[in-house]
Structure 1
Amino acid sequence: MSELNSILEPGMLVRHPAQPDWGIGQVQSNINSRITVNFQHEGKVVLDGRRVALDRVFDLD
């Protein structure tokens, strides 16, 4: 869905645009459009990168 998803690497911080209550997540892996993210308030979630475009977080304000 998003070219940004293809450059996500472990350790990068992201938000799920449709789930703001999940908080900030840290990318655990990104393999063949399957992105595993550990979110602050939701825990570990495996997302289909072809269906959701994650927002990269650059600062924690």
Structure 2
Amino acid sequence: MMELNALLEPGMLVRHPQQPDWGVGQVQSNIGGRITVNFPEAGKIVIDGARVGLIQVYETG
């Protein structure tokens, strides 16, 4: 999980695999495996990249 999450940069779009109702979030920061994502239905969430593998989204709509 860490390997893929390490590639996430601010501005990228992601989904949380266990929380699909949060919608598509935008990565705000990725520092030391702690990824801050702004989700439309949940707000800003800090995610431990060692525990959760975020799913990158390439297109919305």
Shared fold, TM over 0.5: yes
Does 2:2 correspond to 1:5? no
Residue segments in structure 1 that go unaligned for 5+ positions in a row: none
- The 2-side partners of 1:9 and 1:42 are apart by 20
State the TM-score, normalized to the length of structure 2: 0.96
Identity percentage over the alignment? 67
Cα distance, 1:2 vs. partner?
3.3
Aligned residues between the structures: 61
Query: Runs of 4+ in structure 1 displaced over 3 angstroms?
Result: none
Report if aligned partners of 2:2, 2:33 keep a CA contact under 8 Å in 1: no
Residue segments in structure 2 that go unaligned for 5+ positions in a row: none
Deviations 1:30-57 (A, max 9, x none): 0000000000100000000000000000
The equivalent residue for 1:34 is: 34
- Indicate the RMSD between aligned Cα atoms, in angstroms: 0.8
